[in-house]
Amino acid sequence: MITVYGIPNCDTVKRARVWLDEQGLAYQFHDYKKQGVPADRLPQWMQTLGWEKVLNRAGTTWRKLDDDTKASVTDAASAAALMQTQPSVIKRPIVEWPDGRLSLGFSPELFASHR
């Protein structure tokens, strides 16, 4: 089963879900806002994808953080702590594919390569 992690009002997550629907691929959606960030998954995501890539420093949520909070994110542990309390700073979507691979973000080419 494909699992898509994100927030439902994110445009990139919406595009990813539409693409999966159009391809007829079944998936489950994990909403960070309602279900939280899965603490058992976050370390794997950061190790596999790199914590610097999982942390979205270009997004609105990051830009709204105070300077002290931003400055406190210096390694994987501090990034994980922030991601747990502010799930919107996680780049979206993170997708777990049936073969165990992970992807970050969305493009039709990226998703097609995981089919």
In this predicted structure, what is the pLDDT of residue 99?
A: 95
For residue range 12-47, list pLDDT tens digits in order: 999 999 999 999 999 999 999 899 999 999 999 999
The crossing angle, in degrees rounded to 10, of helices 42-49 and 76-85 is 130
Contacts of 23 (CB under 8 A, 6+ apart): 111, 115
CATH of domain 2-112: 3.40.30.10
Amino acid at 101: R
Query: What pLDDT band is residue 11 in, cutting at 50, 70 and 90?
Result: very high
**pLDDT tens-digit profile of 53-70?**
999 999 999 999 999 999
Give me the percent of the chain exceeding a pLDDT of 90: 98
Q: In the predicted model, what is the mean pLDDT of residues 85-112?
A: 96
Provide the mean pLDDT of the chain. 96
**Phi, psi torsion values for 67, nearest 5 degrees:** -60, -35
> For the chain, which residues make up each domain, given as ranges?
2-112
What is the pLDDT, as a whole number, of residue 115? 79
Q: Which residues are marked as active site?
A: 10
Mean pLDDT computed over 77-98: 96
